[in-house]
Amino acid sequence: MLFLIGLGLGPGELTLNGLSSIKKSSTVFIENYTTPISKEYINFLNTLGKNIIFLERKSMEDSAKELVSKAKNEDIAVLIPGDPLIATTHHLLFIVAKNLSINVKVCHASSIFSSAIAESRLDIYKFGPTTTITNWSEKYKPTSFLENIERNIQNNQHTLLLFDIINDGERTLYPNEAISIIKKAEEKLQKKIITNHVILLANVGCEDQVLFYGTLDEIKKLKFNTQNKFCMVVPGKISFAEAELLELLKF
């Protein structure tokens, strides 16, 4: 049996179903490159009495068949931040297992998609497509994320803006880094797209979660201590009820 187990967003979000499946497994893998996992959470997992093997992206993608094949003769668990089937990387494990006639059990958990949207106080039905702000390099400076935001705004829709994972899964882009890229992208496109307040979310689902509602310039000045996971919501047209709730998040 192959168990794909969601860890949720922070310590305490592992379900009883997931915990039971870990205890059944003879080999336990974990990946932390799609979303950073806190040291606190790793320490908790180490108390479960299992030898946890860390997977790199290359191991997950290039050696998927070899990894999944182990589940022919024993119970194998792959621990995944958030929900197991949100990232397309993990769909591959599911497909490989089915092709090898290996049973798969998915233990779902909360993800940034559900939690960030819920915490934003905005209507989930008014969100357009999610987009990701990618870390710029000298030769790679994409602006598609900004074009996606503009399209959502034109459609009176909100946007969940994910921040790229850097430093081998250690953290996401920091807010000041992300905002710097946003401003450079606006210069490149020669248009101002984000003109109103946005919602910054830090360490959603964790005890040190914080939310801010303000302008990009206000948010860029913020200092953070322990937070290493950030994302942003760019509101489109907001209703009277949404406006009242957002006032509670203002500086």
Which pair of tokens denotes residue 131?
């987009």
Write out pLDDT tens, residues 184-236: 999 999 999 999 999 999 999 888 899 999 999 999 999 888 888 999 999 99
For residues 234 and 116, membership in a common domain is answered with: yes
* pLDDT for the residue 227: 82
Write out pLDDT tens, residues 160-169: 999 999 887 7
For residues 63 and 160, membership in a common domain is answered with: no
- The alpha helices in the chain, defined as continuous H runs, are 16-24, 39-46, 57-62, 64-69, 88-99, 112-119, 144-154, 175-189, 216-220, 240-247
For residues 73 and 128, membership in a common domain is answered with: no
Residue 172's CATH number: 3.30.950.10
Residue 73: CB atoms within 10 Å:
9
For residues 53 and 80, membership in a common domain is answered with: yes
Identify the domain containing residue 34 by its residue range: 2-107
Length, in residues, of the chain:
251
Rg (CA), the chain: 19
- Among 107, 127, 147, residue at a domain's last position: 107
* pLDDT for the residue 251: 62
For residues 80 and 132, membership in a common domain is answered with: no
- Among 65, 89, 107, residue at a domain's last position: 107
For residues 116 and 239, membership in a common domain is answered with: yes
Rounded to whole angstroms, the Cα distance separating 181 from 146 reads 10
Residue 48's CATH number: 3.40.1010.10
For residues 166 and 44, membership in a common domain is answered with: no
Are 230 and 172 a contacting pair, CB within 8 Å? yes
For residues 70 and 185, membership in a common domain is answered with: no
For residues 162 and 52, membership in a common domain is answered with: no
Angstrom distances, CA of residue 213 to CA of 49, 167, 184, 233: 42, 27, 22, 9
How many structural domains compose the chain?
Answer: 2
- Mapped onto helix, strand or coil, the DSSP state of residue 61 is helix
* pLDDT for the residue 12: 85
Q: What angle do CA 191, 250, 143 make, to 5 degrees?
A: 25
- Among 57, 83, 107, residue at a domain's last position: 107
Rounded to whole angstroms, the Cα distance separating 14 from 16 reads 7
For residues 101 and 184, membership in a common domain is answered with: no
What is the average pLDDT score of the chain?
Answer: 91
Write out pLDDT tens, residues 54-105: 887 776 767 788 889 989 999 999 999 999 988 777 888 889 999 999 999 9
Residue 170: CB atoms within 10 Å:
12
Q: Work out the percent of the chain whose per-residue pLDDT is above 70.
A: 98
Rounded to whole angstroms, the Cα distance separating 228 from 224 reads 9
Q: What is the pTM of this model?
A: 0.89
